[in-house]
Amino acid sequence: MKKLIIWCRNLINKLKPHRNLNYLNSLDLVSAYAWSKMQEENDYNWLRDGFDGRQKRIKDVRLEYIRKNLEDKAFLLMDDDNFNTILSKRMEIYKYAEKYELVKTILQRMWMGFGDMQMENRLVFIQKLKLLGFKMSELNSVEGDRIELERLFSQVEGIKTKINLLIDDIKVEGSKVTRSLNKDIINVCKIVECEMQDAKKISQAFWIELQKTAHEINEKRRLKEQ
């Protein structure tokens, strides 16, 4: 009971809003620099007002929600290969993480065993595992189940490997975004004939509009040259 109480308290502390912290819930509030760093590091802490990477990082479900919401909006506004690649891989991570948790939960339940009146439940779990890509025999002994479950426990850890590979890919793609940001700003400002912009001072919304304007100008020039 004591362990359960401690676990509940830890869960509540993790989920409760962090007070005295302001979150940037609009593309007009997030700087282009903070946005690129968020993509590079896969870290939603860059959506905290005043965060520059030196402060203690926190976990807050609100930040996760804000990030997903802003990425959906950015996706509709921009057509950027790097961003689309990162977003696609992040969605794969979410999918694999959910699959990992579900399979692990089923395997842990099956490891506890089944009584004579619970054989139908066992079959349901086996069929569910099959749908998730994890096969085991429907007809087996208790010892046989143990052997197969040990195999599946090892197999499910392969999902973690896939997740880690995707995380590494995101870091690589994200670093490309950050490294090219200043260079892209210089090129875009030349095209739209405006003053050089500071990535830390312009918003991501404004940066997206600048890129779209530059793209439109280039398209008009291209058509004229044809």
Query: What is the residue range of 176's domain?
Result: 23-225
Query: Does residue 118 lie within any of the structural domains?
Result: yes
CA 70-48-214 angle, to 5 degrees, is 45
CA separation, residue 140 to residues 106, 117, 122, 123, 152 (Å)? 17, 16, 11, 11, 15
Query: Does residue 176 lie within any of the structural domains?
Result: yes
Task: Spell out the per-residue pLDDT of the chain, length 226, in tens.
Answer: 455 445 444 544 444 444 445 899 999 999 999 998 888 888 899 999 999 999 999 989 899 899 988 988 887 776 555 656 666 776 777 788 888 888 889 899 889 888 878 888 888 989 999 998 899 888 888 888 899 999 999 988 888 888 888 777 766 665 555 556 877 888 888 888 888 889 999 999 998 888 888 878 877 877 777 6
Query: Does residue 65 lie within any of the structural domains?
Result: yes
Query: Does residue 128 lie within any of the structural domains?
Result: yes
Query: Does residue 186 lie within any of the structural domains?
Result: yes
Query: Does residue 3 lie within any of the structural domains?
Result: no
Query: Does residue 6 lie within any of the structural domains?
Result: no
The closest of 214, 220, 221 to 78, measured between CA atoms, is 214
Q: Report the C-alpha gap between 90 and 159 in whole angstroms.
A: 14
Query: Does residue 204 lie within any of the structural domains?
Result: yes
* pLDDT score of 34: 94
Query: Are 87 and 175 a contacting pair, CB within 8 Å?
Result: no
Instruction: Give how many domains the chain has, as a whole number.
Output: 1
